[in-house]
Structure 1
Amino acid sequence: MKKVMIVDDEIAIRENIRSSVDWKQEGFHYCGDAPDGEMALPLIEEWAPDILITDIKMPFMNGLELASIVRAQKPEIKIIIMSGHDEFSYAQEAIRLGVTEYCLKPVSAAELLQILHQVSQKMDEEEQRLMSLAMTKEKLLADLCGGLIGTSDAIDSAKKLSLPLSAKFYAIAIVDVRLEEDAQHTEQLLNKMLFVLQETCNAHAELLPYIRSRTELVLLLKSNSEDSITTCLEELRGHIRLELEQQFTCSIILGIGSRQERLQGIHISYLEADEDKYITRLTLQNKASLRRIQLDEKMDIFLDRNQFLEFLKLGSPHLRNHFVQEFAAPLKSVDWQKSTYGFYLLNDLTLECFRIANQLFRMGADADESIRSLQERIQRIGSWEHCMEYLFTLLDQLWQRRAASSGKYSDVIDQVKSYVAEQYNNEQVSLKTISAHVRISSSHLSKIFSQETGQTITEYLTQVRINKAKELLKTTSSKTFEIAYKVGYNDPHYFSNIFKKTTGCTPKEFRSQGAMPFHEPPSEQIEEPLYE
């Protein structure tokens, strides 16, 4: 609700305005008044009104002086000047100061309300324009990757930006570029690299990129052909990455997410690409160390890594011991007390197992911590028998994750839905508060909820709130602003906008339609942003 404050030296005028308007019903909050500009200033600082109504002729500090200070210090406040003096000089000065409205005393409650609603509408329009300007192509793509925007809002924003967003398939790739020298020029290199990527990738899939940081590019690939997306991702991981490294004399760490069929799936693919990039970086670091050790120690042990990965995918726990004994037989020659060769072989195998596991089933939010814990355990291996025990543990951990991924999230989803059902009327409900309640990181919760339910958490919260609002509109005589509060919206105007986007009609229009069967909103959801 927009907050209104009045400044007038005549107490009768202040009291008359305060008592003659049903502020809440009209969608405003009357925060108070003051007898002159000097006394009003600290109150303005404390109350932070959205609209200031002030008389011109007042002792100590008049309305024009007050308006001048407020415009300089708090330009977002809209000012309405009231004056009993129909003099052109006052109006002229008020316009120069950027006053929103100018009216003559005496002003009736109806006239004042008309002015207030006009000013409120101007404020809403300004806010919409600012939001439109802020929604650049880069921000839209970043919000899609971050799961911060709903499907309908994303499509609307893309349309305004003339950005072709719709497709049957999507995937995310993250390109982390590291220069051997002149690191300060990485940002310039990214722009040049983007041009090359556009030329090479567009042969298979359309590329919508943005720069995430001074060393990273995020590539949103989209196509109506699943094969085209797959081919493009394979070429990115293969010859395109190598050609870019040669052309720009740099090293590239690539992370690739899975193919998705919905816009909301972009967020999932993005999280997977980020995880893939992390594991790739560790793998490259390990391989570099392994090559140095091979040269120093003149060792060349072959471990059939593909065989181990195949057993991870399809093997049975009761065959574990026999398989590991045969697989680890080449490591018997390693002197675990003097050589570090075996440690790096196991570290490389562990990272590849996590990469495959991440593609096969949903890893937990603690995957990074699990890798670090296993790496510490590798460092403590002192014999071939210890090596065997480690491989047992690696297989067991990943199998446990595979088994848990198929069923454990139903409990988490139920917890989220139960929490939303209890707290939907609390405006402070956010992805952060929900993730804290279920004790899962925000990013991981966002990913699994989308995967399990087909909608984001913010879309689900909006669905619950709007459904409850529809129920209240049909079964109670509560005012629209009262219903807005009851379903978690402190701003009735924002509530009305969300309601209309979701249902296709305003709350008033919905109520006037008469009794209707209660039903779910359309599949294309509208969401309000949730901030962490």
Structure 2
Amino acid sequence: MYKLLIADDEAIIRKGLKNVIDWNKLDIEVAGEAEDGEVALKLVETLRPDIILLDICMPFLNGLELIKKIKDIDKNFIIIIITGYDEFEYTHEALKLKVFDYLLKPINKEELKNIIEKALQELSKNNERTSYITWANRQLHENLSSLIENFFNNLITGSIDDLEAKREMDFFRIKLGENIGIIIIKVIEKLNSEVISKKWDSMLLNFAIKNIAYELLQKFKPVYTFTDDENNVIVIVNISNMNKWVNVGTLIEEKFFKYLHYTIVTEQRNVTGGIFKVRAVYKNMVKQISKKIEFKPVVLLAIRFIDNNYYKNDLSLEIISKKFCLSSSYLSKLIKEETGLSFVDYVTSIRIKKAISIMDDPTVKIYQVAELVGYSNQHYFCKAFKKVTGLSPTEYRSG
């Protein structure tokens, strides 16, 4: 039942409005009466009536001021003003304030009934609109994570332009700064095929990867995870601490293997210049990870070991060969065939890649960078760095 408030300083008019039509038949309850503007405002605040019949000239708080205050409470109240022929100027001002309609004194029963029926139709439309908005908001809330995943997938693949992407980022309240980290994670199916078929499907595995990545990256909030069209799990974060960021991919691989006994590979980059710079980097990363998953299983395991232990200055081909029960010469040959690099060059490339990431933090000294990536000798690190990049670490950083 809808609620009606009658506000008029004349008791006889209030009584007449209450009795002139059968409100119950219209599914309306006369919830309150007010003899002046101040009382009317208090009743509006407490009763929250759907329809307000309001005399344009009221003591203490006149009709125009009252309308403004009522609109401040809720713009959806239906206000029907009661006015006389000599109050046309007030009526004109009230219409500017977007009152629903007006009634001229003396009030005609049929005219009142017609206006009230129009008001009921408007209330019905408002209720439908409110119900739809409530439903839409609920759907948005329930599907928000999926919608954000879809947005990021469209963003990195270039399915939406920058302008549309900015609009969607505002809508979803996505806040990403200038320094962004991206990780691509892939389950190596040929090393896990038996387990995958028996226990897990691909979707469930990706869900587990996202959860582990999210837990490990709490210091890099916000964290966004999604699955791309090639079933890679993508993680995008703001980088706040480069030292903590540089080994995140390795940590994800270790945690995933420890808890679920699955082998995954990762590609990790940091991007300067905002989210729109990620597209080109993403394409290159997908190519790199696609090459990795084509490697022979033993090479995959060997490079995974290298990727996880590159910072140890005693890392050697002999150590890795023993771990996988292979001869050093045979393992070296396999690594060269699959990666195109010798063992030493592959280790060097990984170390320099990590060093470049760390060097984005200007507070880390060059000798500290060298130590963090497995070089006990800064001179040797600088020599290796120049061989790979063509620049010395100092030149690279200053450029």
Q: Which has the bigger relative contact order, CA under 8 A and spacing at least 6?
A: 1
Give the structure-2-normalised TM-score: 0.39
Give the structure-1-normalised TM-score: 0.30
Rg: which structure is higher? 2
